[in-house]
A and B are shown apart, each in its own frame.
Chain A
Amino acid sequence: MIGDAFTLVLLDPMINFLVILNNIFFGSFGLALIAFTVIIRLITFPLTRRQLHQSRAMQTVQPRMAEINKKYSDPKRRQEEMMKLYREAGVNPLGCLGPMLLQFPILIALFYAIRQTLPESPEALEALSAHLYQWTYIQHAVPINEFFLGIDLKLAPNEASSYLSPAWLFVVLVGATTWLQTKTTVTTVTDERARAQQQMMAYMMPIMFAFFALSFPTGVSLYWTINSLIQIGFNIVTYGLPALKIEPLLKSPAPAMAPALAARSAQPQSVAQPAPEPRTPNGPGRSKRQNRRRRPE
């Protein structure tokens, strides 16, 4: 039932759309995949813009978040203050998830769409007929040429006959572009632990995706690479690239702060500070565990 819905709503339209793009782009499935990626990014641009907007907004409230972290040791209270801050600043911490969650169905459908459109066996070609619409323009295109720049787009690198196969290039490209994507996402994290986690993420994500690229059809890796490149472009436009002294091109305004927060931000810190927590024996805003960690041996 779910499988049928997935096929009808996502897989079949995607297969037919890819075949149409293949026809438009001179019978090159690689170019069709690149065009497909660009179109998907254009369609999801409102979500991406919202994500970037939210990321910038998160940056603006980072100092206040650090302050709250420092001030409250009680996790419940800290959470309450954080939520209050988010509400006042008009920030949704999950706002960055939209485009990422959208990648779920697209990636899964694309995996199958490529496997179906570029069949690996005569049986698979026969099965393709069940997915194609009865339009002459589409029917003429079968079978699709699976090669792009000498790379078989339906094969995964680990299925390639040799380690010298150009398909392996995509493992590197997926890893490199994912790493660049992470690095160009500028964030201001004040918490040491969060910074360490972010560092780990910056290296783990590319390795992980490169590992997955080993067993994905090269066409999916091509999609991922182009998708990452576009995201890197968006990141640079939004955040700039401090390492190369590139200023952000897009000066998107941070979300309007609630008047109370704006006023508090404008006032001296001593006035803006919320009511302090009662001082604990461990010091303000510190847990026993935190103190233990900082204490020299």
Chain B
Amino acid sequence: MNNPRFFAVGLLLALFVVTSAACGKIRQPEGWASPAVSDSTAYFFADKDRFVAVDLDSAKAVADPKSTTGATLQPLLWQFPSNDQKDQDAYSFKAVYTQPVRDGDTFFMASYDGGLYRINAPDGRGERIATQADIKGKIVAGPAVAGEYLVFGTTEGHLYVVNKNNGQLPVGWGKTGKDLGKGIWAPPLVRNDTIIVATMAGEVRAFGLDGAEQWQKRFTASGAVADLALLGGDSIFVPTLDRKVYILDAATGAQKGKEFVAEDWVWSTPAFAGGVAYFGDFSGKVYALDITTMETKWKPYDAGHRVKATPVLIDGVLVLADRGPVVHFIDAANGTGLNAVPVVNAGTVRAGLTAAGGKAYIATTKGRLFVADPVKRSVVEVGVGGGK
């Protein structure tokens, strides 16, 4: 830098770097909570900060004026936050990664920016739960309901239990929860008042509601565990980011059989039936794993794109959405592809699918909802319009 022209070069360099950086695509939190469906109402995130309820009753559908294919719009029942709430900090949230859990007439959900919310399912009126907990980190994992309590973990590795009605902390749990040392990304499981939780260090542990450790020995996987599922009530499905899947005994935490090695990251939970777990990995392969023998039932099905979303099994047909997104209908008996329907201009699919009324509901990252019919092997959008 002994010449003024180097100053100019340096300046250009810096400007170029800054410009490139500014133009760069840095992924912001979008959320991937699955839709919930009950009593002909679908609840899903129409945006990363807007939770809506839509009436699925076909009799209430109106024609979509923009559609050239005769598509219809379903009435919007409510949205949270509602129009009179949305500009208030108390109701604002950013990205939700775990399906809001329904407890009676109330939905509970946790947002990435550390908020806990209670929403009334019939009318959508909701509020932030004021809690004594000093939440460290961001919430991807949870909440799960354990009796009177909500259980959730944070990306900084703290596991929290708070009273779902008043946000109070139960005995045995500190204000900053239980520090498990590494991030908690997998939604905690609740089984017989036992909380089962996994960390990105690969540990799977069990705690009682009093905070006491339940298993004699915690399980340690070889890679990070970003998801967790309870299979048939007595087994735990433990997928890892280093391509493995373990099955644990839910009562003791002991590993059952050998681990299964997939082709790429497994960051998804399975559809489960008849002792077989159906899931996909990031290479796009879909497996049917017999959790007793830890052998695959059929040759992996190639979806072609990364699979993050949990599939559903409806009447022997595995319905799965990849990141294309393409919705696949696969014969669960032998792994044969029955149909593959691309979903265009709707973003991608990371949220798990939800089965209800013999159909599969699929939420996309652009906040759109689709319904897949395993009988017709077709996919139709549930348009939202009218209503409140």
List the interface of chain A (C-beta within 8 A of B). Answer: 55, 58, 93, 96-97, 100-101, 103-104, 107-108, 111-112, 115, 119-127, 129-130, 134, 136, 139-140, 142-143, 181-182, 185, 187, 189, 194, 197-198, 200-201, 204-205, 208-209, 212, 215-216
Of A58, A122, A209, A215, the most chain B CB neighbours within 10 A belong to: A122
Taking the nearest CB of chain B, how far is it from the CB of A128, in angstroms? 9
Determine if A55 and B243 form an interchain contact, defined as CB atoms under 8 angstroms apart: no
Besides the contacts A112-B24, A139-B223, A139-B265, what 10 more A-B pairs have beta carbons closer than 8 Å? Answer: A58-B3, A96-B3, A97-B6, A100-B1, A111-B20, A126-B350, A129-B282, A187-B2, A205-B10, A208-B10
In the assembled complex, the Cα of A124 lies from the Cα of B20 at a distance in Å of: 18
What band does the interface of chain B fall in when counting residues whose beta carbon is under 8 Å from A? Answer: 35 or more
Taking the nearest CB of chain B, how far is it from the CB of A181, in angstroms? 8
List the B residue with the shortest CB-CB distance to A93: B3
Chain B residues with CB under 8 Å of A200's CB are 7
Interface residues of chain B: helix, strand, loop or mixed (majority): loop
Per a CB cutoff under 8 Å, which of B20, B28, B183, B226 touches A121? B28
List the B residue with the shortest CB-CB distance to A115: B26
Chain A residues with CB under 8 Å of B224's CB are 142-143
Within 8 A of A (CB), among B307-329: 308
Supposing A97-B9, A129-B306, A208-B14 touch, asked if A121 and B27 sit within 8 A by C-beta, the answer is yes
Per a CB cutoff under 8 Å, which of A97, A122, A181, A194 touches B29? A122
B226-266, CB under 8 A of A: which get 1 and which 0? Answer: 10000000000000011100000000000000000000110
Taking the nearest CB of chain A, how far is it from the CB of B2, in angstroms? 4
Taking the nearest CB of chain B, how far is it from the CB of A3, in angstroms? 10
List the B residue with the shortest CB-CB distance to A108: B20
Determine if A182 and B1 form an interchain contact, defined as CB atoms under 8 angstroms apart: yes
Supposing A143-B200, A205-B1 touch, asked if A120 and B26 sit within 8 A by C-beta, the answer is yes
In the complex, whether B287 has a CB less than 8 A from a CB of chain A is no
Determine if B200 and A104 form an interchain contact, defined as CB atoms under 8 angstroms apart: no
List the interface of chain B (C-beta within 8 A of A). Answer: 1-4, 6-7, 9-11, 13-14, 16-18, 20-21, 24, 26-30, 32, 95, 97, 112, 140, 183, 185, 200, 222-224, 226, 241-243, 264-265, 267, 282, 306, 308, 350
